[in-house]
Amino acid sequence: MEIRYTAIPAERLEAMRSAGHDELGNKWQLRVAEGWEPLRCCLRKADVDEDIALICYTPWESPSPWMEAGPVFVHHDACDGYAEIDRYPAVFLNNKAILNPFDHSGARAYDHITFLEPEDDHEQAVGDVLGQPDVAYLHARSGTAGCFHFLVRQA
């Protein structure tokens, strides 16, 4: 199975930067990184003193009763995005995670929600969930804070 790990689309971020606010109206505001913040534009950890922004983001692109929006850190200015699209982003390995899957109609696939401990094989778990015939894609979220990390689907 070929799997694609997807960061926030660059075009959506660029539209927010030019508008001066995120899609929910929060100001696009410069913030100086402390060096622990996981960035959802390129799926790595921020370096100390990097220019970042804290925005509210929803991975949905059209209205849905399943839509959830929440806080994510991104680069303040455009970055190169995430290149290793077939690899589970290293910075999110060895963490507690939630794999939150959706079916082909866009409804949550409750039977396949998966909670991962740091020592679990995260890539294997993603493969197992996406291998279920009724699962179309999944959102990987923080297992401690619930924040959205990235979207995963079959290539």
Which residues of this chain interact with Zn ion, rule CB under 5 A?
Answer: 39, 41-42, 75, 79
Shortest Å distance, C-beta 39 to Zn ion? 5
3 vs 91, beta carbon nearer Zn ion: 91
Alpha-carbon span 151 to 32, nearest angstrom = 26
Shortest Å distance, C-beta 108 to Zn ion? 28
Shortest Å distance, C-beta 80 to Zn ion? 7
83 vs 155, beta carbon nearer Zn ion: 83
Alpha-carbon span 93 to 7, nearest angstrom = 15
Alpha-carbon span 37 to 59, nearest angstrom = 19
85 vs 136, beta carbon nearer Zn ion: 85
Shortest Å distance, C-beta 102 to Zn ion? 25
- CA dist 143 to 34, 68, 92, 93, 110, Å? 21, 16, 10, 11, 16
- CA dist 55 to 72, 95, 113, 133, Å? 6, 22, 26, 34
Question: Which residue in 88, 82, 83 sits closest to 121, CA to CA?
Answer: 88
26 vs 132, beta carbon nearer Zn ion: 26
> E strand or H helix at 17, and its extent?
helix 10-19
Shortest Å distance, C-beta 89 to Zn ion? 12
39 vs 55, beta carbon nearer Zn ion: 39
